[in-house]
Chains A and B, each alone.
Chain A
Amino acid sequence: MASEHKTGDGVVSRRASLFRRLREHRWTGLLVNVAPSGFWLVAFFLAPLAVTFYYSLGRSGAFGVMHLGLSDLGLQQYAKLLVPEGASGIEAVWISLAWMLEGLIPLDIELTTAQPTAFMRLTVKSVLIGAVATLVSFLVGYPTAYYIGRIAPERYRNLLLVLVILPFWASFLVRIYAIQLILTADNLLTDLMHLIAQALAWLPLFTYNGNLMNSRFAVMLGLVYIWIPFMILPVYASIEEIDFTLQEAAMDLGADRWQAFRKVVFPLSKPGVMAGTILVFIPSAGAYVIPALLGGPDSQMVGNFIADRFNKGDWPLGSAASFVLMAVMLLAIAAYQRYSEGGELA
């Protein structure tokens, strides 16, 4: 009896010591923690992206048949998306670049007979729509974040924050539908929006044909409505951390309110602005549901192009478009971060 007990103890302690040794080995805990999610992300996130890239190199035949053999692979889908018809090589690059610049600043560049592809126009339009939605979110969201973080009485701050986040928990589709309800109605509010849409019509990006629904104005409104909390929250977080005695110091040294804001407060809130800008820009430029429900034929975006190719069975072209979209976004974000003097995401 006694000896049996001893053996049992011995087994237990040997097991315990093995367990302890495993636990104390620094890699074990790490491996255990990383393994499940690492597997999931590699198998169901990175691998699908890799497979999609592979498809983007293939060719699509009739009746949704895909040619993915070694001899079929090439960059033909990317060429179809990006190379203007009737142009080749360096000329194609020049035409595309000239056209994109032309879209941003009117340069009166004489384009040759070749025109940029429909996909390029769509991509540039999507980036511009995303950028404008981000800018509007910033212009409207910054003062709100400033109000919550600096002006509102402290005991209401949490409530005000919750009120910004609450719509985010309410269904995305339902909120887009609510915007649709407002836009299709006919009352004082819609009259006001007609006026705004009309005033915006002189901008190259907007068109106004008397309708609010199925317009770029509707898409823009939807984007700002859905994503503005993503601007307000990070900006608020930055503003809350600012030591406002610095502002007082600036004013004691002779700065007026505007100078104190521009030279002291705003730079200190920049990390939040950076994060908010990226958080709003990415889903806006890559939007799919909002243009599908609120936009007309002229306000579909690159996300709709991708989904459309897949619905019509041209997977290689849709896959290639996905990768171009991701590349464009990464470039836009990299350029923005560099331009904004190396701010950091989140």
Chain B
Amino acid sequence: MSTVKRLRSRLFARGGAAIAVEALLVYLFLYLPIVVLIGLSFNDSRYALVWNGFTTKWYRALFAGETVARVNPDAVFATLANSVHIAVVTVVLSTVFGTMLAFAIDRYEFPGKGVLTSVVYMPIIIPSVVMGVSLLVFFNMVGMQTGINTAIIGHTAFDISFVAVVVAARLQSFDDSLEEAAKDLGANEIETFRYVTLPLIKPGVLAGALLAFAMSFDDYVISVFVTGSTDTLPIFFFSMVRQGVTPGVNVVATVIIVVTLVVVGLAQWLQGPTW
């Protein structure tokens, strides 16, 4: 047995432990930056990176409407409102349309189905910068003023795909005989959908909606091309980060992280696992 082989078999004999350590390091890698960020937002120092004791003064200042370390709270909350507006309308449109699309793909055989399916996948695999510029060129050509509405249109265009893919995955494991049973027992089309189909696919639809919300709320690349002079929270945050690392940026970043995780956690708690 060669040395290499011996070493390899030794490594594999202890493989379980080695892999466990590796996995632990990956989890550290995923969470350490976020923990550092949240920690530094409580840092009592003008310099964002030098730890100087615990304080909540940056939070108090932000929520009291004071400008903290070059971060203007009015602008933060105004862009937050824009982002929520765009995300909510986008979620409604893309969840309804995307779910219908998933039904079409799952339940019907028709000519051109292959083409339709690849068109549905395209927005997921095309680089977002390309989607952003193409929407900009398009709105310019048809003469639409860019703003909140064009952002909603653009976000819906890619969110439909994400919802359709998630719901279609759920529909694949759907037992059609349950619907037939409902109809045999006298339920009409609408009742069947309302009391049998919808509850069964609800986790999928909810996961799709949540994904759509996160994608829209978090989107920078497409928004920056299609919102014109209307800023969303990611666009505002991007320009803040460009200007440098400050305690104010840490606080806004922490608020964004905590709010999104609370929303996801709440949905999770209310509806059971959504992924």
Question: Which A residues are closer than 8 A to B by beta carbons?
Answer: 23, 26-27, 29-30, 32-34, 36-38, 40-41, 44-49, 51-52, 55, 140-141, 143-144, 146-148, 151-152, 158, 160-182, 184-186, 189, 225, 228-229, 232, 256-258, 261, 278, 282-283, 285-286, 288-289, 293, 303, 306-307, 310, 315, 318-319, 322, 325-326, 329, 345
Q: Which B residues are in CB contact (< 8 Å) with A164?
A: 30
CB 8 Å contact bits of B221-243 with A (1 = contact, 0 = none): 10001000000001001100110
Task: List 30 A-B residue pairs with CB atoms under 8 Å apart, sorted by A's residue number.
Answer: A23-B189, A26-B108, A30-B110, A36-B96, A44-B138, A44-B153, A44-B154, A51-B134, A52-B134, A144-B26, A147-B22, A148-B23, A158-B273, A167-B30, A169-B264, A171-B237, A171-B253, A174-B37, A177-B249, A178-B34, A181-B36, A181-B48, A181-B49, A181-B245, A184-B245, A228-B26, A232-B26, A289-B221, A315-B137, A322-B134
Secondary structure class of chain A's binding surface, majority of residues: helix
Q: Which B residues are in CB contact (< 8 Å) with A37?
A: 97-98, 100-101, 160, 164
**Shortest distance in angstroms between A6's beta carbon and chain B's nearest beta carbon?**
23
Residue B270 is within 8 A (CB to CB) of chain A in the complex: no
Are the C-beta atoms of A162 and B12 separated by less than 8 Å?
Answer: no
Shortest 3 CB-CB distances between A and B: which pairs?
Answer: A286-B127, A48-B138, A178-B33
What is the number of residues of chain B that contact chain A, defined by CB distance less than 8 Å?
A: 86
CB 8 Å contact bits of B120-137 with A (1 = contact, 0 = none): 111101111111111111
Contact check: which of B9, B36, B101, B158 meets A182 at CB < 8 Å? Answer: B36
Chain B CB within 10 A, most for which of A34, A166, A261, A278? A34
Are the C-beta atoms of B127 and A34 separated by less than 8 Å?
Answer: no
CA A161 to CA B34, docked complex, whole Å: 18
Q: Which B residues are in CB contact (< 8 Å) with A151?
A: 16, 19-20
Are the C-beta atoms of A51 and B127 separated by less than 8 Å?
Answer: no
Given contacts A49-B134, A147-B19, contact A33 B101 (CB under 8 A): yes
**Shortest distance in angstroms between B234's beta carbon and chain A's nearest beta carbon?**
5
**Shortest distance in angstroms between A12's beta carbon and chain B's nearest beta carbon?**
14
CA A34 to CA B134, docked complex, whole Å: 23
Residue B64 is within 8 A (CB to CB) of chain A in the complex: no
Given contact pairs A30-B108, A52-B133, A177-B237, enumerate 18 new A-B contacts (beta carbons under 8 Å).
A36-B97, A44-B138, A44-B157, A52-B130, A147-B19, A147-B23, A148-B23, A151-B19, A162-B275, A171-B237, A177-B245, A181-B33, A181-B40, A181-B250, A225-B29, A288-B127, A303-B127, A319-B133
